[in-house]
Amino acid sequence: MAVATSRFTVDVAVVANPSVAEKRSVMNSQTSPSPFSPITIGPLTLKNRFIKAATNEGMSAQGVPSKQLVKFHSALASGGIALTTVAYCAVSSDGRTLPNQLTLLPASLPHFKALTDGVHQAGGLASAQITHGGCFTFLRERSPPHPLSSSGGFNKIGMLSGMFRKQAMTETDMQKVVEDFAQGARLARQAGFDAVEIHMGHGYLLSQFISPLYNKRRDQYGGSLENRLRFPRRVLRAVLDAVGRDLAVICKYSITEGVRAGNSAEDGAKIARLLEQEGAHLLVLSAGMNAESITTMFGSSFPKENRVQQKNPVIALAMSIQRLMDPKVEFRELYLLEHARKVRAAVKMPLAYLGGAKSLASIEQIMAEGFDLVAMGRVLIAEQDYVNKLASGVSTNSICTACNRCVAMMYTPGGTSCVLGKPGDPELNRQPAADR
């Protein structure tokens, strides 16, 4: 594979007049590729190795991309990112977690198309993160009335949503969800996306199958790790069959769940092998679970300011509970590296490191450790042009302090923003992307 063989070769595919940062990376590329060099994943070639990680922007007031969301992702593309991930696109109305979540429906396509056009015109590529919430949902109007999950019984997420029971999926439910994912991927292709990222992490439906915290099934979909991966692999296979020749098919999952009874990084390495066998083009290595271990995902605690900013009482309560339950965690760069290394050692396929990459030195370390790409979330909320700043040598360290206030900002009228920068425009955020 081009990726695997190029890892240890001298890589000089940088611009004609390399900047300070690029020169440094070329020097490092004696043993590892430059982060500014191109890479091919599945059918897609990226101009460099930087991915904007999915961060629900809260810019979809009517369930479709807003003009503010187009502006945000276009700024990322003109700011140097090769591939920007549009977070949290539900594959069906019943698969939503939040009522105003982006949803891939035929009627929404003009708005998604306006977004991908904006990104392409700005010189980037766009990936749609496709997801189903399972029992991690606040949507009370649904059919069936109880949210679906790998297993039935008490729904702990229902403490917040009021839906105290969840329903174990039958074969018919599973087939429907497999088709929803395949259809979501086809719609993403029609809307002009270049890649789809299947969300298999953080406690949503596919993660509810992978995780022993949720999956208590006794059939071929429960028990061993292989069995727990069976349904997510079915989804992956269906998405690959539907669009894998045209789009890169990426899987994002939690390499460790960060709690004792959950999957460990050793499990995370085995999961990677199973997804590699199934033919995924790239894995994005996240960690943690929304309800059980949010600080594992973010590598830092949530500030009390997040709670007072909340107008939505359910979200305010959720954040308060989270603050009480989660340990105090001091941020450190590359906080998931020791776990991610186990995955790197287990597979040959392309991997994107995610978690606390916020300086050129960190990014170079990731490349030197054999990861193929770097995905970044908060850094790019703070500075959409961070990649250009690195490439030109204007900056080496991001201004992001990993304070996590951008997480609460996604529930404000202007959508996500960094407290160190300008807030989003509520007016622009009310307007669907394709409206005149």
Ligand X SMILES: Cc1cc2nc3c(=O)[nH]c(=O)nc-3n(C[C@H](O)[C@H](O)[C@H](O)COP(=O)(O)O)c2cc1C
Shortest separation between residue 163's beta carbon and ligand X, angstroms: 21
**Residue 56 interacting with ligand X (CB under 6 A):** yes
How many C-beta atoms lie closer than 10 Å to residue 4's C-beta?
Answer: 13
For residue 38, say if its preceding peptide bond is cis, omega within 30 degrees of 0.
no
Nearer to ligand X, 6 or 301 (CB): 301
Q: How many CB atoms lie within 10 A of CB 260?
A: 7
The one segment of 51-59, 138-146, 221-229, 271-279 that binds ligand X by CB under 6 A:
51-59
Whether residue 204 lies in the annotated active site: yes
Stretch that binds ligand X, among 15-23, 72-80, 118-126, 352-360 (CB under 6 A): 352-360
The token pair at 159 is: 């403490």
Q: Is 250 in the site for ligand X (CB under 6 A)?
A: no
Of 268 and 377, CB closest to ligand X: 377
Q: Name the active-site residue from 204, 221, 253, 353.
A: 204
> Of 214, 376, 378, 207, which Cα lies nearest the Cα of 284?
376
Count other C-beta atoms under 10 Å from residue 312's C-beta.
Answer: 12
Binding of ligand X by 125 (CB under 6 A) = no
Nearer to ligand X, 63 or 222 (CB): 63
Output the smallest distance, CB 429 to ligand X, in A.
Answer: 15
Quote the least distance from Cβ 373 to ligand X, whole Å. Answer: 13
Side chain identity, residue 314: V
Instruction: Determine if 377 is a binding residue for ligand X (CB under 6 A).
Output: yes
Give the range of 138-146, 253-261, 263-271, 372-380 binding ligand X by CB under 6 A: 372-380
Instruction: Let me know: does 209 contact 234? Beta carbons within 8 Å.
Output: no
Q: Which of 137, 256, 416, 429 binds ligand X (CB under 6 A)?
A: 416
Please identify, among the stretches 166-174, 266-274, 311-319, 353-361, the one whose residues bind ligand X according to the rule CB under 6 A. 353-361
> For residues 47 and 147, what is the distance between their CA atoms, to the nearest angstrom?
41
Q: Please report whether residue 243 would count as binding ligand X according to CB under 6 A.
A: no
What is the total count of residues that contact ligand X (CB under 6 A)? 25
Among 3, 14, 39, 54, binds ligand X (CB under 6 A): 54
CB closer to ligand X out of 55 and 215: 55
Does 286 contact ligand X by CB under 6 A?
Answer: yes
Quick check: 410 binds ligand X (CB under 6 A)?
A: yes
User: Is 350 or 377 the residue whose CB approaches ligand X more closely?
Assistant: 377
* Residue 119 vs 354, nearer CB to ligand X: 354
Euclidean distance between CA atoms 64 and 86, whole angstroms? 11
Q: Kindly tell me the sign of the dihedral angle through the C-alpha atoms of 411, 380, 346, 342.
A: negative
Asked if residue 199 binds ligand X (CB under 6 A), the reply is yes
The residue at minimum Cβ distance from ligand X is 377
Burial of 104 (0-12, 13-18, 19+ CB in 10 A): buried
Using the 8-state DSSP alphabet, how is residue 157 labeled?
Answer: T
What is the DSSP track for 191-208? TT-SEEEEE--BTSHHHH
* Binder among 73, 230, 252, 339 for ligand X (CB under 6 A): 252
Q: Which is nearer to ligand X, 217 or 281 (CB)?
A: 281
Which residues in 31-151 belong to E strands, given as ranges?
Answer: 39-41, 44-46, 50-52, 83-90, 125-131, 148-149
Instruction: Pick the closest to residue 76 from 85, 84, 87, 68 (CA basis).
Output: 84
**Residue 132 near ligand X by CB under 6 A:** no
| One residue of 26, 51, 53, 255 binding ligand X per CB under 6 A | 53
Judged by CB under 6 A, the chain residues 83 through 102 that form the site for ligand X are 87-88
Rounded Cα distance between 112 and 126, Å, is: 10
CA–CA separation, 49 and 60 (whole Å) = 28
Tell me the CA distances in angstroms from 149 to 197, 199, 316, one per residue in order: 20, 15, 25
d(CA 399, CA 375): 17
355/258 Cα distance (integer angstroms): 14
User: Would you count residue 116 as binding ligand X (CB under 6 A)?
Assistant: no
Q: Does 193 bind ligand X (CB under 6 A)?
A: no
Q: Which is nearer to ligand X, 270 or 378 (CB)?
A: 378
Which of 332, 391, 341, 346 has the alpha carbon at shortest distance from 370? 341
The Cα 102–Cα 76 span in angstroms is: 19
* Site for ligand X, rule CB under 6 A: 53-56, 87-88, 129, 199, 202, 252, 286, 297-298, 354-357, 376-379, 406-407, 410, 416
Catalytic residue numbers?
204
